Amino acid sequence: MPEQPLRPIAKRTTIYLPERFILDKPTFEINDKLNTLCTFFHHSNTLVSVPVTFEKFNPFLAKKESVTGYQIVIDKNHRETLARIRQQTGLTISQLAEYCFRNEKM
């Protein structure tokens, strides 16, 4: 089956994070955390490692927490990575951002 074209990520978007993550400078702090997105990829930097992804996400996807929305500008270098991971996993941008914040604590 041919690969589907990536659905682009908007430059300006709202990301929802659990209230326990308190951000003073949301755009800077979220973009900084998005640097850990590379841990999703297998060797090629284009294919997501599905077993690793679901092993890491299953525990916190089941939990429902109160969230706070942050309207931010996503750095260009993160937009394609987010789009690729979203396309291959079905996870939302907010879930991916939350993973980046939680990953620091793992």
Q: What confidence score (pLDDT) does residue 53 get?
A: 62
Single out the residue of 24, 6, 26, 7 nearest to residue 16, CA to CA.
26
Predicted TM-score (pTM) above 0.85? no
Q: Is residue 80 part of a domain?
A: yes
Query: What is the domain count for the chain?
Result: 1
Q: How far apart are CA 2 and CA 5, in angstroms?
A: 9
Distances (CA, A) of 89 to 24, 34, 96: 30, 16, 10
Q: Is residue 21 part of a domain?
A: yes
- Could you tell me if residue 4 is inside a domain? no
Residue 57: inside a domain? yes
2-61: pLDDT as tens digits: 567 888 899 999 999 999 999 999 999 999 999 888 777 665 556 666 666 666 666 666
- For the chain, report the end-to-end CA distance as a whole number of angstroms: 36
**Domain that residue 94 falls in:** 12-105
Examine residue 55 and state whether it is found in any structural domain, yes or no. Answer: yes
More confident residue, 81 or 3: 81
